[in-house]
Amino acid sequence: MYFNPRVEQKIVRVILCLFTFITVAILVFIMIFILRKGLPVVSWEFLSKNPLDMGKSGGIFSTIIGTIALTFMALLVATPLGVGTAIFLTEYTFESRLTRVIRFGAECLAGIPSIIFGLFGFILFVTKLKFGWSILSGGLTLAFMILPTIIRTSEEAVRAVPGSYRQVSYSLGSTKWQTVTRVVLPSALPGIVTGVILSIGRSIGETAAVIFTAGSALRLPSSLFSSSRTMAVHFYVLAREGISMSKAYGTAAVLVLAILVINLVTYYLMEKFIRRYR
């Protein structure tokens, strides 16, 4: 049947609008639901006290520390590795099979499910290397997970630095390394930091890999070899086992807020980055 194209368009427009509305509504609803149920629970006490009685009472302080420790450990390992790789790929080689292999490797790493990282981390770090359930095991595992993101964003950031900057630097007599450290890196910094912040967002929410490598101990971690629970894991345990729905919502609210803040910061940084090169 031949529809009048204008009529067809009107109908399609309505359908598309509806679908979009439903999609956005669902996504926004989830966030509002969590915040509405969880924010009332969040208080200074909630954030600063440790969980008691398996999490039924008390707060989530140790889990906040656990989350920060784990994320920081992961960044500590992944950032130098990732940025170094990115610099190598852009500044120190030509496009060749080598670079394609490295890049393909990073892309594949990005697609591996988190549970496989968890499996790998559990067998290698926790069991074989005898690190046990610890921030060390969890941090290293997370580092491998965020490595591809850091490589990808750093590479884009470094590539985006205009060639003219480099030319000027060389023409003034600098070596390659001086150019990289004093000209290219500082200019690429916002882009690199964006990638780092994105990875922070991902690490905070990660559960599958963390639960099998960092464990789920409720105490405040005292060293790198301590097991520690992250907020995401704490939420998982509380919610699943019905220990305390209100505390679960509270933890989720803190998580969602943290991610909101991180995304806003990323967005702001990216705007600044783009504007700089206008």
48 binds another protein, rule: CB under 8 A: no
Count of C-beta atoms within a 10 Å radius of residue 246: 13
Select the residue interacting with another protein from 187, 191, 194, 254 (CB under 8 A): 187
126 binds another protein, rule: CB under 8 A: yes
The residues in 201-260 that bind another protein, with binding defined as CB under 8 A, are 201-202, 204-208, 212, 215-219, 222-227, 232, 235-236, 239-243, 248, 252, 255-256, 259-260
Q: What is the DSSP annotation of 153-179?
A: HHHHHHHHS-HHHHHHHHHTT--HHHH
What torsion, rounded to 10 degrees, do the Cα atoms 228, 196, 59, 243 define? Answer: -70
Q: Name the residue among 229, 251, 216 with its Cα closest to residue 46.
A: 251
Select the residue interacting with another protein from 71, 85, 169, 199 (CB under 8 A): 85
The residues in 8-47 that bind another protein, with binding defined as CB under 8 A, are 8-9, 12-13, 15-17, 19-20, 22-24, 26-28, 30-31, 33-34
273 binds another protein, rule: CB under 8 A: no
Report yes or no: 76 and 139 within 8 Å, Cβ to Cβ.
Answer: yes
106 binds another protein, rule: CB under 8 A: yes
165 binds another protein, rule: CB under 8 A: no
- Helices 135-160 and 114-121, interaxial angle, to 10°? 130
129 binds another protein, rule: CB under 8 A: no
Measured from the CB atom, the residue of 47 and 76 that comes closer to another protein is 76
Select the residue interacting with another protein from 25, 32, 47, 115 (CB under 8 A): 115
Could you give the CA distance from residue 250 to residue 231 in angstroms, rounded to a whole number?
A: 10
